[in-house]
């Protein structure tokens, strides 16, 4: 599940809007339903492919930002589809 599955982006307001709208309800601007940047566009078209090593790096980033272990595991799973294994100290 990607970023653009449930919402569209309004470049004028810099906000995410539900897919139910064809135009931004705030400004009436066009809503983006796919990324503009070529690198992101190619990933969007091909799909995001993460490895367990990528998932571990993302998990570590969440921990460094102050997330709890449980929050970091859930966020990593939501992004990559992998649940990093956490070693509990006894």
Taking the domains of the chain in order of start, what are their residue ranges? 7-46, 50-90
- pLDDT score, position 1: 47
Q: What's the gap between Cα 75 and its chain centre?
A: 9
pLDDT score of 53 more than 60 = yes
Among residues 60, 63, 56, the alpha carbon closest in space to that of 83 is found at 56
47: left (phi over 0), alpha (psi -120 to 50) or beta: left
pTM of the predicted protein model: 0.47
CA distances from 43 to 40, 70, 87 (A): 5, 28, 32
Q: pLDDT category, 13, cuts 50, 70, 90?
A: confident
Output 21 or 33, whichever has higher pLDDT.
21
Q: pLDDT category, 16, cuts 50, 70, 90?
A: confident
Quote the DSSP letter at residue 28.
-
Q: For residue 37, which phi and psi values (nearest 5 degrees)?
A: -65, 130
- pLDDT score, position 63: 94
């Amino acid at each position: 599940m990607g970023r653009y599955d449930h919402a569209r982006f309004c470049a004028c307001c810099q906000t995410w809007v539900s897919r139910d709208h064809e135009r931004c309800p705030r400004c009436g601007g066009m809503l983006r339903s796919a990324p503009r940047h070529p690198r992101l566009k190619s990933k969007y078209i091909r799909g995001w492919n993460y490895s367990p090593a990528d998932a571990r790096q993302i998990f570590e980033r969440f921990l460094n930002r102050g997330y709890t272990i449980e929050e970091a595991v859930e966020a990593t799973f939501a992004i990559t589809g992998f649940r990093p294994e956490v070693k509990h100290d006894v």
